[in-house]
Amino acid sequence: MKISAGVLPYKIDNNQLMVYLERPGGPYMQNKDLWSICKGEYQDEPAIDAAYREFMEESGLKIDKDKLVFLTSVKMESTNKLVSVFIINCDLDPTKMKSNTFKKEWPAGSGKICEFPEMAEGKWFLIADAKNKIFKGQIKILEKLEEYIWNR
């Protein structure tokens, strides 16, 4: 099983829980309204380091690594990955988001290599809206966050 780690920023605004998500980039996701936490695979590093690195690569936004709190690990059925998720209470400006890029032959079979952002855009969502926008397998992560915030 592959392992992955990510960061889920959150904030409380007018007593409402909000989460920061990003929409994946690339040609396959171009016209889809599906959102994700910033996460990625890792091998030879602690999960918290991988989560922080992936967040920085995919968002370009500054967060304080020392303020990351482990939330949960969730098995993604669709990809057979175990994702360790860290949370941070902060306020980020999505307009300053700048993702790393990847190269891919596009259109497929054309011989033309194009460069795409790994994540196309970032946005704050109310938790209820986030549950309707996030990849289905990540809804469990949002539910764990709600438990963490409202039941402590």
Q: Tens digits of per-residue pLDDT, 4-19?
A: 999 999 999 999 999 9
Per residue in 17-55, pLDDT (tens digit) is 999 999 999 998 988 999 999 999 999 999 999 999 999
Q: Which two tokens stand for residue 89?
A: 């209470």
Q: How far is CA 8 from the centre of its chain?
A: 6
123 pLDDT higher than 80: yes
pTM above 0.75, yes or no: yes
User: Residue 91 contacts by C-beta under 8 Å, 6 or more apart in sequence?
Assistant: 11
97 phi and psi angles, rounded to 5 deg: -65, 135
Q: What angle do CA 60, 61, 62 make, to 5 degrees?
A: 120
| Whole-angstrom distance, CA of residue 152 vs CA of residue 142 | 16
Confidence (pLDDT) at 41: 95
Q: How far is CA 12 from the centre of its chain?
A: 18
56 pLDDT higher than 90: yes
